[in-house]
Amino acid sequence: MSRRTWILCAPLLGALLAGLGWAGFAPIEVGSREQLFEIPQGTYARRRAGDLVEILPDTIRLTLGLNDVLLIHNLDDVPQTFGPTIMMPGQSFRLPFERAASYQFICTAHASGQLTIEVEPEPTTPWARIQWRAREWWENHKK
């Protein structure tokens, strides 16, 4: 490699390594451990009218230690069953998770009536942190 090429590439290589070093070693900071979802007002009425409205994803991904609390607000005019309970209009349900696993729940806010919650382990290794950050970046940019 010539001296000129090296001078051009070294800063890029340094930046890449610094970026990977940060992504792998810096602790992941999140604003809140709660992942909020809302069931909007009129959801039940729209569904009764034949509108296959999808207000929640079929699968919700949570990560232990980062965003491991599901928070559902029922803003609809009727009770909604979510997972283990029934939520009255205006009521919220806050469900913490402490074990990484796949959870299947009944959910009347879904057209299918089913919701899957994938709870993943906390990314504690550099490689896991890099993967987590990459996936978050991808999820945020595809919206």
Partner 1 sequence: MNVTLARLLLILSSAVAIAAATAAPPRLSPPDDLYKAGTLSPVMPAPEIALSGSDGKPFSMARFRGKVVLLAFGFSNCGEVCPITLATLAAARRKLGAEAADVQVAYVTVDPERDTAAQMRKFLGSFDPTFVGGVGTRAQLEAVYGSYGISVNKITNPDGSYTLGHSSSIYMIDRSGGLRAVMPYGHPADDFVHDLKILLRS
Residues that bind partner 1 (CB under 8 A): 1, 6, 10, 13-14, 17-18, 20-22, 24-27, 29, 33, 65, 79, 81, 83-88, 90-96, 98, 103, 106
d(CA 90, CA 44): 14
Q: Which residue, 70, 116, 126, is CA-closest to 93?
A: 70
Q: Which residue, 42 or 79, has its beta carbon nearer to partner 1? A: 79
Minimum distance of partner 1 from residue 63's CB (angstroms): 13
Minimum distance of partner 1 from residue 33's CB (angstroms): 7
Q: Which residue, 26 or 45, has its beta carbon nearer to partner 1? A: 26
Q: Which residue, 8 or 26, has its beta carbon nearer to partner 1? A: 26
Q: Which amino acid is at 126?
A: P
Neighbours of 130 (CB within 10 A): 18
Minimum distance of partner 1 from residue 57's CB (angstroms): 19
Minimum distance of partner 1 from residue 143's CB (angstroms): 26
Q: How far, CA to CA in Å, does 17 sit from each of 25, 27, 38, 80, 135? A: 12, 17, 40, 49, 19
d(CA 76, CA 92): 11
